Amino acid sequence: MVAAHNLHKTPESAKFDLLAYLKERQKLCETALDNAIPMRYPDKIYESMRYSLLAGGKRLRPILCLATCEMTGGTIEMAMPTACALEMIHTMSLIHDDLPAMDNDDYRRGKLTNHKVYGEDIAILAGDGLLAFAFEHVAISTQNVPTERVLQVIARLGRALGAAGLVGGQVVDLESEGKPDISLETLNFIHNHKTAALLEACVACGGVLTGVSSEDLQRLSRYAQNIGLAFQIIDDILDITATQEQLGKTAGKDQKANKVTYPKLWGLEESRSKAEELIEAACVELDSFGEKAKPLIAIAQYIINRDR
């Protein structure tokens, strides 16, 4: 068996068409998301929820969940409701993050932010609606998975997005605003919670649905934590090096807000090499999955090579 972390170094065995894979999975996710929340009365709230949910985006979170479920012996169908819920939760966090009370952003995913189109009141409610429906969707639409695994998924989602996850990370981020002396420890806390916690839930839930062993679940979690931090380092780099058109959101925001970022602490080059080290460490965790780990390894590589 080829060690998983060596797959990306050996050109022959590494042949995996990631772009085709992502395109196909993105299409499946778009259709499932569109069907999950159809238009109904009251139109305004459903329109607002669908405006942000169907605004594009890389769909990295649902794809990670589907890929992990498949790698560990499950099917796309088993994981799709959880995958959609993860994208709903991610989208609601973006809607709330963009509000004037938080990051106050005008653009997201190449479009005006939700509150710019629907007003702050409806944007808050659209986020709430997506969040509540995410849980309902997992509970009601998951099929061919034992109930106790579905319950575990629901518990993990709750933990990843509450005060022990996204919400906690966002609070420390808000508290750190305008403080130039933020430590690496605090910066890591913010991003381990704001960004890595949800990515970890994506991967872990994919494994929970198939009932992986606790050892494998730990391996999957470590893979996800590593790609999560690498993802954020690259996000900080792109904020400096990419354009608004590329990102679909305001570029150069961190510098303008005088935020402490990884490139600010380490410089661009060092930040990039730290991200590469994290990706390498992530892939090592997948060794025991052999060839089946190709998609997750390719996604890890994509995270540091992306330009948006």
Contact set with ligand GRG (CB under 6 A):
57-58, 60, 90, 93-94, 96-97, 102, 109, 131, 161, 166-167, 170, 194-195, 235
Residue among 54 and 167 whose Cβ is closer to ligand GRG = 167
For 169, counting Cβ atoms within 10 Å of its Cβ (0-12 exposed, 13-18 middle, 19+ buried), the class is buried
Q: How far apart are CA 181 and CA 274, in angstroms?
A: 21
Q: In terms of CB distance, is 5 or 108 closer to ligand GRG?
A: 108
Least Å distance, CB 270 to ligand GRG, is 20
Minimum CB separation of residue 253 from ligand GRG in Å reads: 12
In the complex with ligand GRG, the residue whose CB is nearer, 58 or 253, is 58
3-state SS string over the chain? CCCHHHHHHCCCCCCCCHHHHHHHHHHHHHHHHHHHCCCCCCHHHHHHHHHHHCCCCCCHHHHHHHHHHHHCCCCHHHHHHHHHHHHHHHHHHHHHHCCCCCCCCCEECCEECHHHHHCHHHHHHHHHHHHHHHHHHHHHHCCCCCHHHHHHHHHHHHHHHCCCCHHHHHHHHHHHCCCCCCCHHHHHHHHHHHHHHHHHHHHHHHHHHHCCCHHHHHHHHHHHHHHHHHHHHHHHHHHHHCCHHHHCCCCCHHHHCCCCCHHHHHCHHHHHHHHHHHHHHHHHCCHHHHHHHHHHHHHHHHHHHCCC
The residue (of 4 and 36) whose beta carbon lies closer to ligand GRG is: 36
Query: Which of 110/290 has CB closer to ligand GRG?
Result: 110
Which residue of this chain has its Cβ atom nearest to ligand GRG in the complex? 57
Nearer Cβ to ligand GRG (254/287)? 254
Min dist CB 133 to ligand GRG, Å, is 13
Look at residues 170, 172, 220, 232 and name the one whose alpha carbon lies nearest to residue 196.
232
Q: Tell me whether residue 166 or residue 286 sits nearer to ligand GRG (CB atom).
A: 166
Q: How far is the CB of 213 from ligand GRG (least distance, A)?
A: 29
Q: How far is the CB of 283 from ligand GRG (least distance, A)?
A: 20
CB of 66 to ligand GRG, least distance (A): 15
Smallest gap from residue 211 Cβ to ligand GRG (A): 27
